[in-house]
Amino acid sequence: MSDGDQAPNTRQEVLERRSFLLLLIAVTLVFVYLLTPFFGAIFWACVLALLFQRLYVRLRKPLGVNLAALVTLLISMAIAILPTLFVFGSVLQEGANLYLRLQSGELDFGSYLERIRAAFPVVQEFLDRFGLDLGPLRDQLSGAAITVSQFLAQNAARLGSGTVQWFISLVLTLYLAFFMLRDGERLVALLVRALPLGDERERVLFAKFAEVTRATVKGNLVVAAVQGALGGIIFWLLGIGGAVLWGSVMAVLSLIPLLGAGVIWAPVAVYLFATGSWIQGTILVAFGAGVIGLVDNILRPILVGRDTKLPDFVVLLSTLGGFAVFGINGFVIGPLLAALFVACWQIFMREFNPSPAPAADAESDSADKP
């Protein structure tokens, strides 16, 4: 066959290959867009599968793949999902009660602010020096409290009657988690084979994904649960109303760096001092700073920073950015993207821009030469 006969075939093959690649990219993008409404369910199914993968592996040999996945899923529900639903329901119920008390005038955050100002004249002098007025702040605080409690009350009614969307999302998450547990290793192998990044690089990235997801979820959720539980317990012991609600709020805020549970217990302590409850205020400050704050300072670096192998400032910035972009899911997605970013650059530097040999080694090599 002459060269003239081979050239058209070669051009035809190149055109067909490029056309197919464009079709592959287009179909993939459309399919990913099709799945965007279920992003949360897919993401948390992957998280559940990663968290309980080791348990599934232990149960797989004696029980078989299907039964082991089912038992692992039931255990994950008992450990993670059912307690969360119980706390969430209690929070919504207390939020509904708080809304009713605000509507009836039994609770008035504006009057609490006035008590604090009257008890600490230095605060008023400081505000007067800068021409600040507590009136608008008092109105905004009362309005914000009513808005938040109204939101909780509305969602309490929705939770009580049951929402189809929430139920479908939960069922879909559990359904997907079953297959992620059972077929996770095979899915990873298929992705390693399909992605054109190099098998070794893909294994490194998938391992980093699993490692960071486990560390971030376990670390942050453990810290949040411990801080929220401690905050709720001290509020209950001091006779402060809505202990479950405020403990849950402290748990959520502890997921956000730079905020934490102190955003809740510190103003309550100030109010206790302002109303003359010095013993309760002192106990709350000592417990909040010495116990609740210590939990964050000790557990978070151990459980999150060490396992993710990321500097503290990177964890902080990626978590804040994750919250800003992805909402509540951002406390996992943010550090995960940061870890993948670092891993990709480490692979690049190792393979495409290796560091030169140390000067001492170079000198010793030259000295060994005759």
Tens of pLDDT, residues 30-47: 998 998 888 888 888 888
pLDDT on residue 360 = 45
Mean pLDDT of 187-201: 81
Share of the chain above pLDDT 90, in %: 2
CA angle 300, 181, 42 (to 5 degrees): 70
From the list 2, 327, 47, the residue with the least C-alpha distance to 209 is 47
Question: What Å distances lie between residue 235 and 14, 85, 244, 266, CA to CA?
Answer: 70, 21, 9, 12
Please tell me the distance from the alpha carbon of residue 267 to that of residue 3, in angstroms, as a whole number.
Answer: 84
Question: What Å distances lie between residue 95 and 149, 201, 263, 333, CA to CA?
Answer: 5, 49, 18, 29
111-149 pLDDT tens trace: 656 666 665 555 556 555 655 555 555 555 555 555 655
Largest CA distance in the chain: 101
Helices (H) and strands (E) in the chain, counts: 18, 0
Query: Six-digit token pair at 38?
Result: 């279920």
Contact between 311 and 330 (Cβ < 8 Å): no
User: What does the radius of gyration of the chain's CA atoms come to, in whole angstroms?
Assistant: 28
Please tell me the distance from the alpha carbon of residue 292 to that of residue 227, in angstroms, as a whole number.
Answer: 6
Task: Give the pLDDT band (50/70/90) at residue 370.
Answer: very low
A 10 A CB-CB count for 41 gives: 20
Cα–chain center distance at 327: 9
Q: Where are the domains of the chain?
A: 37-194, 198-352
pLDDT on residue 343 = 83
Please tell me the distance from the alpha carbon of residue 362 to that of residue 366, in angstroms, as a whole number.
Answer: 6
Q: State the DSSP string of 62-100.
A: HH-HHHHHHHHHHHHIIIIIHHHHHHHHHHHHHHHHHHH
232-280 pLDDT tens trace: 888 888 887 777 778 878 887 777 766 677 878 888 888 787 777 788 8
Mean pLDDT of 334-363: 73
Q: Within 13 Å of residue 227, how many CA atoms lie on the same side as its CB?
A: 33
pLDDT on residue 367 = 47
Contact between 231 and 287 (Cβ < 8 Å): no
From the list 75, 97, 77, 98, the residue with the least C-alpha distance to 86 is 77
* 163 or 19, higher pLDDT: 19
Please tell me the distance from the alpha carbon of residue 60 to that of residue 53, in angstroms, as a whole number.
Answer: 10
* 166 or 285, higher pLDDT: 285
Please tell me the distance from the alpha carbon of residue 91 to that of residue 246, in angstroms, as a whole number.
Answer: 8
Mean pLDDT of 89-115: 62
Please tell me the distance from the alpha carbon of residue 88 to that of residue 95, in angstroms, as a whole number.
Answer: 10
* 29 or 115, higher pLDDT: 29
Please tell me the distance from the alpha carbon of residue 118 to that of residue 312, in angstroms, as a whole number.
Answer: 41
Task: Give the pLDDT band (50/70/90) at residue 27.
Answer: very high
Query: Six-digit token pair at 325?
Result: 């972009």
- Virtual torsion, Cα 40, 42, 45, 49, nearest 10 deg: -130
- pLDDT of 75 higher than 60: yes
Please tell me the distance from the alpha carbon of residue 179 to that of residue 185, in angstroms, as a whole number.
Answer: 11
Please tell me the distance from the alpha carbon of residue 237 to that of residue 37, in angstroms, as a whole number.
Answer: 43
From the list 370, 238, 211, the residue with the least C-alpha distance to 304 is 211
Please tell me the distance from the alpha carbon of residue 242 to that of residue 53, in angstroms, as a whole number.
Answer: 37
